[in-house]
Amino acid sequence: MIVKPFAVWITGLPGSGKSVVSERLRKLLEDAGVKVEILRMDEMRRLVTPNPKYTDEERQILYNAISYLAMILTRNNISVIIDATGNLRRYRELARRIIPNFMEAYVKCPLNLAIKRESERKNTLSAPANIYEGAKTGRSRNVPGVQAPYEEPVNPEIIVESDKLSVDEEANLIFKKIIELFSV
């Protein structure tokens, strides 16, 4: 399969399933012969801001950086999956503006289910653990969907509802949309 280099931003609440969907999607793409990297905001945050404050200013800098990195990778024929909450639309819109072949995939998940999943996950794939519990106790002060806003996408290329679909179904739908949009 031949696709133009692209970036897909997998967005949704913390605990919505973005990381597991990203992993499955990567496997589908690699099996189809697509060279792809996952850019995880939590990995970047740990490297760039080892003692994160999760302020709006810090988030803006990190989301600008991840968008820039995705742009550079796609320019060099490496497709990208951005695994990041991107709680404000402006973060995702920057990526849309600077990356020619861009799509937004919204992993829609009710907050109560995201909280349940986040509290039960064993492998966080580099995400901080127990953030919703931290929000409840006051240890965390900027959790998207609780103390910080999560702005749902206005016109994402695809919405997958994680309370109604399996991870495999979500990844397959996003994969099909990528093929539809970016096949050569």
Percent of the chain with pLDDT over 90: 74
Nearest to 9 by CA among 121, 77, 65, 91: 91
- The predicted structure's pLDDT at residue 30: 97
- The predicted structure's pLDDT at residue 143: 86
- The predicted structure's pLDDT at residue 46: 87
**Per-position b or e across 4-32, b if 16+ CB within 10 A of its CB:** ebbbbbbbbbbbbbbbbbbbbbbebbeee
SS3 content of the chain, % helix, strand, coil (to 5): 45, 15, 40
8 phi and psi, to 5 degrees? -115, 125
Q: Which domains does the chain have, with CATH numbers?
A: 7-182 (3.40.50.300)
- Decide which of 42 and 77 is more confident: 77
Average pLDDT for 61-66 = 96
- The predicted structure's pLDDT at residue 119: 82
- The predicted structure's pLDDT at residue 124: 63
Nearest to 107 by CA among 25, 7, 5: 25
Tell me the pLDDT tens digit for each residue of 91-130.
999 999 999 999 999 999 999 999 998 888 777 666 667 7
**Among the ranges given (42-56, 80-94, 170-184), the one the predictor scored with the smallest mean pLDDT:** 42-56
Q: Is 4 helix (H, G, I), strand (E, B) or coil?
A: coil
Tell me the pLDDT tens digit for each residue of 132-161.
887 778 777 788 888 889 999 999 999 999
pTM: 0.93
- Decide which of 183 and 131 is more confident: 183
Do 182 and 3 touch, CB atoms closer than 8 A?
yes
Q: Is the pLDDT of residue 176 over 80?
A: yes
- The predicted structure's pLDDT at residue 129: 73
CA distances from 16 to 11, 19, 65, 97 (A): 9, 9, 23, 25
- Burial class, 172, CB count within 10 angstroms (exposed 0-12 / middle 13-18 / buried 19+): middle
Do 87 and 114 touch, CB atoms closer than 8 A?
no
- The predicted structure's pLDDT at residue 125: 62
Half-sphere exposure in the Cβ direction for 133 (13 Å, CA) = 8
